[in-house]
């Protein structure tokens, strides 16, 4: 009888505890919901109360950014916007940077929310800055920008181009020449261009964009041709062929023998003669002696400093019936 009474009391206590716990959880959930609802209501009220930025005009922008506004008057964008896009000059600043009334009201105080309502592409992440430019410049010339090498590296348009203070005559580059602009990142290529044999980029006879498309492309290294050879043949048409006797490396890839940007060897070769040819061709029959394994060093000294193309002059290919060895 006593055991039964104790068991009944424990069951009743457990039931009461369970009801209390359920009541506590219900109150906690209710409080959380009310709190969240209060946050949503407060955010909505704040959004309704916060003023929207309005256009103020380039004249107001000039009060603080006079150099940029004056530069815009003679810049290509300042001239093109009214003529091509129908945007009057007074709205030219805010067309790219956003409405500036709240920015003006902040008085230059960066701690105020209104200061950041205008955007500066130079301070934005690459893709965010480029998105502003691509609103107008999303034509065929930049159809491969998305997913291209520079886009994947998060390089912005502002890294190479300047709207207000362009330093070059063409392309509104941030440097005086296209090459100097590219060298900001591609310093290894700059060192190759300083070698004794190099592409005539610094002489002004060609530019980086003569071979590469900086705005992206479907080919490796953003080349302007489907392959390296086709790109080289656009200038070196005499090497194209077809030849009766072909030199296999020439047909496969010009870069097998030539450095594309610069080299310290003649003809921008990747190695010095005759060692370049000996990477593929054995030299045991030059000069016409039997191969002697015990005197390899002596045979090597006999061909040292002699150029293979003194005899094999048609190194890229020959159309002569007797030109199997590319000698004529």
Residues 134 and 196 in one domain: yes
Within-domain flag for 4: no
Which range of 251-255, 272-276, 287-291 scores highest in mean pLDDT? It is 251-255
Mean pLDDT confidence for 276-297: 62
pLDDT tens digits, 156-199: 999 999 988 889 988 899 999 999 999 999 999 999 999 999 99
Total residue length of the chain: 328
Residues 216 and 135 in one domain: yes
Half-sphere exposure of 81 (CA within 13 A, CB side): 19
Indicate if the pLDDT at residue 13 is higher than 80.
no
Indicate if the pLDDT at residue 109 is higher than 50.
yes
Verify cis geometry, omega within 30 degrees of 0, for the bond prior to 274: yes
Within-domain flag for 234: no
Domain that holds residue 190: 127-224
Residues 243 and 207 in one domain: no
Single out the residue in 118, 140, 161 at which a domain terminates: 118
Residues 295 and 251 in one domain: yes
Number of structural domains in the chain: 3
Residues 220 and 244 in one domain: no
pTM of the model: 0.73
Within-domain flag for 15: no
The CA distances from residue 90 to 28, 100, 268, in Å, are 56, 12, 53
Indicate if the pLDDT at residue 142 is higher than 90.
no
User: What is the predicted pLDDT for the residue at 40?
Assistant: 41
User: What is the predicted pLDDT for the residue at 5?
Assistant: 45
Residues 96 and 158 in one domain: no
Check: CB of residue 291 under 8 Å from CB of residue 303.
no
């Amino acid at each position: 009888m006593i055991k039964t009474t104790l068991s009944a009391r424990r069951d009743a206590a457990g039931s009461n505890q369970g009801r209390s716990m359920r009541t506590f959880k219900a109150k906690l959930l209710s409080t959380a919901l009310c709190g969240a609802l209060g946050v949503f209501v407060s955010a909505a009220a704040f959004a309704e109360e916060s003023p929207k930025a309005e256009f103020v005009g380039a004249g107001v922008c000039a009060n603080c950014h006079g150099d940029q506004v004056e530069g815009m008057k003679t810049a290509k964008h300042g001239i093109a916007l009214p003529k091509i896009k129908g945007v009057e000059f007074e709205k030219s600043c805010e067309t790219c940077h956003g409405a500036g009334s709240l920015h003006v009201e902040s008085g230059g105080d960066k701690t105020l929310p209104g200061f950041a309502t205008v955007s500066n592409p130079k301070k934005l992440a690459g893709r965010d800055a480029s998105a502003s430019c691509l609103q107008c410049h999303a034509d065929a010339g930049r159809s491969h920008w998305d997913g291209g090498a520079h886009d994947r590296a998060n390089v912005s348009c502002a890294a190479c181009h300047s709207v207000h203070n362009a330093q070059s005559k063409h392309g509104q580059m941030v440097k005086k020449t296209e090459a100097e602009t590219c060298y900001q990142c591609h310093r290894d290529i700059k060192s190759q261009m300083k070698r004794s044999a190099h592409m005539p980029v610094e002489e002004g006879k060609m530019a980086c964009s003569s071979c590469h498309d900086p705005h992206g492309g479907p080919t490796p290294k953003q080349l302007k041709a489907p392959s390296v050879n086709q790109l080289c043949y656009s200038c070196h048409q005499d090497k194209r062929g077809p030849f009766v006797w072909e030199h296999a490396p020439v047909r496969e890839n010009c870069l097998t023998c030539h450095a594309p940007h610069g080299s310290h060897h003649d003809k921008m070769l990747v190695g010095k003669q005759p060692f370049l040819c000996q990477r593929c061709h054995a030299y045991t029959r030059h000069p016409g002696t039997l191969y002697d394994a015990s005197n390899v060093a002596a045979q090597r000294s006999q061909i040292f400093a002699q150029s293979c193309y003194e005899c094999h002059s048609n190194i890229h290919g020959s159309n002569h019936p007797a030109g199997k060895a590319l000698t004529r």
